[in-house]
């Protein structure tokens, strides 16, 4: 019996075997195709209900199987799963094209679209109709037959190239290890980090200590290790992923992806890939994105240059360093931060035991939105690390299921993300509740210490949980507009706004207690966290802007004349460079956000959402960070509404006006 072909509510992880995937996808695609064909060939006159609504509910079983499979490919993958992904991705891409290039189906959608002003549609129905029509028109429905064939070829090629790109990055991350047998090489590392490195070595049956390119191992070494030569080695290994002219090299993949995206945009009548993407964003055009990035660059660059000179002087006085390099950045920044604020992550970590932080983010959600969290042990998971929860509202009604997977392992890609195993929607009067997951890579507990988070990891947990709330509190009719199905430059608002609570005394008092003594975090430490919040904010802003500009350099112009990935990157970084270039490294070849994930032409949206989140949080600060009235407005107009309305309209309903840039500049200390 194939568990994926049964009608399941929670994903049946423990009974799924790799050999189940291909037959399940084959059957689910055939079933979804039959549903689509029934809509396309119906003899009834096209209506909103029998065409637009029916189309949005079609293929749900395929969506469920896809969410299970691709989440496993990110969080618990192996060579076999990766191979299946290479087979399945082109099939799904082909099926997607079969829908958008289906002429009979498009005729019916267009017939409804053409009479939209005469139909009595709700705002949500209007939005769905617009989205479905554009889903066809923006993806080739109006193309000639030979252009449709070329579009299919491009999409199939892109789906494979993006997978290959990601596999190479993961393989590079897993391949490298810094094996140390001399304890002096770990000088500067806190005891907890040394213990974690010893545990990693032991797991690989090695003597001594092991440092890897996984964030919980890599970042502490770069921040604390006094051995500059080893920091350099590790930094170059990290920065050269996919850039070693070997079997895992991504340079050709980058060029092919950029060129195919450009060709696809041209085929559809757009000047560049960025023009195509941004038509469906709050930013609207590449010109607006460039203006936005350059306005912030103008404000941040003087501050960044001043901060960099301060760091250079500090490193020179401390250790006689004449030329600061990239591998010195975290090390001397941490030392300077300790000197200026007497604040060091190692002093903070005992107050941020993972379990306490989880309880804390739950408590914040309870105080804001009236949610209750219950850890449960009867929900199937794909790994022992995964915790599961049922979430209820004040009336004890089920709001959502929540999966939490917090530690790195070999089959898991780096970083942190929110994902969903089941969307929220209303069908036949029943409000189907979502299944949401957060996946992160935090330090594992050791024999002597629980998992203690850096402050940066605390904000990461709050960030991903903010995305989680966007999924959990969804309350829309149609699955295609539910939860995080919003404009890409709006999707980071719920996540980024929640990070603000990490800096507030009222919130920290709920969970920041010492893991051994139970003592509440001292308020002078809280004040130091707040004081240090804008430390090197100019440099941080410059760094984020450089990533946004790199993204636009690949996607906002014709890439066909680019032959050298590294040279293209250097040009993009020209206006934002502080450190000398490292010839052995290249960011593009492991920039998974834009070459594998969904952020192509969208990396600017992190900063865009910061403008929104700073403006939104200013409203909370004005009324009180746990003010029920403001929280209810945020829930009613942002978190629950998904993509049912233009995001700027939703934001104005919450805030009363459009967002202003000043709160961000003020918060960042850039005014």
Measured distance CA(459)–CA(440) in Å, rounded: 12
pLDDT digits (tens, 9 = 90+) for 177-221: 999 999 999 999 999 999 999 999 999 999 999 999 999 999 999
Structure tokens of 538? 């100019």
Give Cβ neighbours of residue 472 (< 8 Å, ≥ 6 apart).
Answer: 371, 391, 399, 400, 402, 434, 436
| CA proximity to 481, closest of 654, 261, 333, 644 | 644
In this predicted structure, what is the pLDDT of residue 670? 86
CB 408 within 8 A of CB 439: no
Residues 96 and 75 in one domain: yes
645 is catalytic: no
Whether residue 80 is predicted with pLDDT greater than 90 in this model: the reply is yes
Distance (Å, whole) CA 530 – CA 526: 6
Say how far residue 269 (Cα) sits from the centre of its chain.
29
378 and 496 within one domain:
yes
- Do 471 and 412 contact (CB within 8 A), yes or no? no
Instruction: State residue 389's pLDDT score.
Output: 98
C-alpha neighbours within 13 Å on the C-beta side of residue 629: 6
Write the CATH number for 34: 1.20.1050.40
**In-domain check, residue 158:** no
What pLDDT is recorded for position 529? Answer: 87
Owner of token pair 């992904």: 85
End-to-end CA distance of the chain: 63
Q: What is the pLDDT of residue 120?
A: 95
507/610 same-domain check: no
Which residues are 209's β-sheet partners? 180
Q: Is residue 165 part of a domain?
A: no
pLDDT for residue 414: 86
Among 40-44, 253-257, 462-466, 605-609, whose mean pLDDT is lowest? 605-609
Per the listing, tokens 């070329």 go with: 150
CA dihedral sign of residues 530, 535, 538, 541: negative
How many domains are there within the chain?
4
So what's the pLDDT on residue 530? 85
The answer to whether residues 503 and 403 belong to one domain is: yes
- Which residue matches tokens 């992160």? 440
Same domain, 290 and 407: no
Residue that terminates a domain, selected from 472, 499, 533: 533
Average pLDDT of the chain, as a whole number: 95
What CATH number corresponds to the domain at position 502? 1.10.1370.40
Q: How confident is the model at residue 644 (pLDDT cuts 50, 70, 90)?
A: very high
Structure tokens at 98: 């079969």
Q: Model confidence over 360-410: pLDDT tens digits?
A: 999 999 999 999 999 999 999 999 999 999 999 999 999 999 999 999 998
Q: What are phi and psi of 376, to 5 degrees?
A: -130, 160
pLDDT at 96: 93
Same domain, 529 and 548: no
pTM: 0.85
The rounded distance, in Å, linking the Cα atoms of 475 and 124 is: 11
Q: Are 123 and 111 within one domain?
A: yes
Q: Of 517, 533, 549, at which residue does a domain stop?
A: 533
Q: Over 90: is that where the pLDDT of 244 sits? A: yes
- Which range of 86-90, 268-272, 531-535 scores highest in mean pLDDT? It is 268-272
Q: Does residue 127 lie in a domain region? A: yes
Contact at 8 Å (CB) between 262 and 274?
no
CA dist 289 and 282 (Å) reads: 10
Domain encompassing residue 92:
3-142
DSSP state of 353: B
Clarify whether residues 502 and 638 are in a common domain.
no
Please report whether residue 96 resides in a domain: yes
Residue whose pair of structure tokens reads 């901060």 in the numeric block: 307
Q: Please list the residues that pair with 387 across neighbouring strands.
A: 404
Instruction: Please list the residues that pair with 388 across neighbouring strands.
Output: 376, 403
The size of the chain, in residues, is 671
Strands 387-392 and 372-376: antiparallel
Q: Which residues, including other chains, have CB under 8 Å from residue 84's CB and lie 6 or more apart?
A: 18, 21, 22, 69
Task: Calculate what percentage of the chain has a pLDDT beyond 70.
Answer: 100
Please state, in angstroms and as integers, the Cα–Cα distance from residue 347 to each residue in 91, 176, 190, 328, following that order. Answer: 51, 30, 10, 22
What is the 3-class SS of 402-430, one letter each residue? EEEECCCCCCCCCCCEEEEEECCEEECCE
Q: What is the pLDDT of residues 582-620, one digit of tens each?
A: 999 999 999 999 999 889 999 999 999 999 999 999 999
Q: Is residue 161 part of a domain?
A: no
Closest to 497 measured CA to CA, from 405, 377, 368, 382: 368
Tokens standing for residue 572: 């993009």
Do 258 and 374 fall into the same domain? no
Residue 471 structure tokens: 């999924």
The answer to whether the beta carbons of residues 255 and 565 sit under 8 Å apart is yes
Do 523 and 541 belong together in one domain? no
Residue 210 lies in a domain: yes
For residues 546 and 611, membership in a common domain is answered with yes
Return the CATH number at 633: 1.10.1370.10
Residue 19 lies in a domain: yes
3-state secondary structure 175-186: HCCEEECCHHHH
Tell me: pLDDT of 453 over 90: yes
Q: Which of 464, 504, 569, 610 is catalytic?
A: 464
> What is the band of 490 on the pLDDT scale with cuts at 50, 70, 90?
very high
Rounded to the nearest 10 degrees, the angle between the axes of helix 537-555 and helix 251-267 is 60
pLDDT for res 533: 87
Cβ atoms within 10 Å, residue 169 = 23
If you average pLDDT over residues 412-419, what whole number do you get?
Answer: 92
**Residue 345: per-residue pLDDT:** 82
Among the candidates 533, 565, 598, a domain finishes at 533
Determine the average pLDDT of the residues in 79-91.
Answer: 94
Closest to 302 in 3D by CA, of 542, 535, 533, 532: 542
Assess if residue 157 is contained within a domain. no
What local confidence, expressed as pLDDT, does residue 488 receive?
85
Q: How far is CA 137 from CA 106, 140, 556, in A?
A: 9, 6, 21
Report the DSSP pairing between strands 425-427 and 178-180.
Answer: unpaired
Do 470 and 545 share a domain, yes or no?
no
């Amino acid at each position: 019996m194939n568990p994926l072909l049964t009608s399941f509510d929670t994903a049946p992880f423990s009974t799924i075997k790799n050999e189940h995937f291909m037959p399940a996808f084959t059957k689910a695609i055939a079933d979804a195709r039959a549903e689509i064909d029934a809509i396309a060939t119906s003899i009834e006159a096209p209506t909103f209900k029998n065409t637009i609504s029916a189309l949005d509910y079609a293929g749900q079983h395929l969506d469920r199987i896809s969410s299970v499979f691709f989440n496993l490919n990110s969080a618990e993958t192996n060579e076999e799963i990766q191979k299946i992904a290479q087979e399945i991705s082109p099939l799904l891409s082909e099926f997607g094209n079969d829908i958008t290039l289906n002429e009979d189906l498009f005729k019916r959608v267009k017939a409804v679209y053409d009479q939209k002003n005469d139909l009595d549609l709700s705002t949500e129905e209007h939005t769905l109709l617009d989205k479905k029509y554009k889903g066809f028109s923006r993806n080739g429905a109006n193309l000639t037959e030979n252009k449709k064939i070329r579009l299919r070829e491009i999409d199939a090629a892109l789906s494979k190239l993006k997978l290959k790109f990601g596999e190479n990055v993961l393989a590079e991350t897993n391949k490298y290890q810094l094996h140390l047998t001399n304890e002096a090489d770990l000088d500067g590392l806190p005891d907890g980090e040394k213990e974690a490195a010893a545990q990693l070595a032991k797991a690989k049956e090695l003597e001594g200590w092991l440092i890897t390119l996984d964030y919980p191992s890599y970042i502490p070494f770069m921040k604390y290790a006094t051995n500059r030569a080893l920091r350099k080695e590790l930094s170059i290994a990290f920065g050269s992923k996919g850039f070693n002219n070997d079997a895992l090299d991504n340079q050709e993949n980058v060029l092919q992806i950029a060129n195919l995206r450009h060709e696809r945009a041209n085929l559809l009548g757009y000047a560049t890939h960025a023009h195509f993407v941004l038509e469906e964003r709050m930013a609207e055009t590449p010109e607006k994105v460039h203006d936005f990035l350059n306005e912030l660059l103008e404000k941040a660059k003087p501050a960044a240059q001043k901060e960099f000179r301060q760091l250079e002087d500090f490193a020179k006085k401390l250790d006689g360093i004449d030329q600061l390099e990239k591998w010195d950045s975290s090390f001397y920044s941490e030392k300077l931060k300790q000197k200026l604020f007497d604040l060091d992550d190692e002093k903070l970590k005992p107050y941020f035991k993972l379990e306490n932080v989880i309880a804390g983010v739950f408590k914040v959600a309870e105080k804001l939105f009236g949610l209750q969290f219950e850890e449960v042990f009867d929900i199937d998971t794909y790994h022992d690390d995964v915790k599961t929860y049922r979430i209820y509202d004040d009336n004890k009604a089920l709001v959502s299921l929540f999966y939490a997977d917090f530690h790195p392992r070999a089959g898991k890609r780096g970083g942190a993300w929110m994902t969903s195993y089941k969307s929220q929607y209303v069908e036949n009067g029943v409000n189907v509740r979502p299944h949401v997951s957060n996946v992160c890579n935090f330090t594992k507990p050791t024999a002597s210490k629980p998992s203690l988070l850096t402050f940066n990891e605390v904000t990461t947990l709050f960030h991903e949980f903010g995305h989680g709330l966007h999924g959990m509190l969804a309350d829309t009719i149609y699955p295609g507009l539910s939860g995080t199905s919003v404009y890409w430059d709006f999707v980071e608002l719920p996540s980024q706004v929640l990070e603000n609570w990490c800096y507030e005394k009222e919130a920290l008092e709920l969970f920041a207690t010492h893991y051994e003594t139970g003592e509440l975090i001292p308020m002078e430490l809280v004040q130091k966290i707040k004081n240090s919040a804008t430390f090197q904010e100019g440099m941080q802003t410059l760094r984020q802007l450089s990533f946004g500009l790199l993204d636009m350099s690949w996607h906002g112009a014709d890439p066909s004349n680019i032959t050298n990935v590294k040279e293209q990157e250097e040009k993009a970084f020209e206006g934002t460079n502080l450190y000398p270039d490292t010839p052995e490294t290249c960011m593009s070849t492991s920039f998974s956000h834009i070459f594998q994930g969904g952020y192509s032409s969208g990396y600017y949206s992190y900063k865009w959402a910061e403008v929104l989140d700073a403006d939104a949080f200013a409203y909370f600060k004005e009324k009180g960070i746990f003010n029920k009235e403001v929280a209810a407005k945020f829930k009613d107009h942002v978190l629950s509404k998904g993509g049912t309305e233009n995001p700027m309209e939703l934001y104005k309903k919450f805030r009363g006006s459009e967002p202003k840039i000043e709160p961000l500049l003020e918060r960042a200390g850039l005014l």
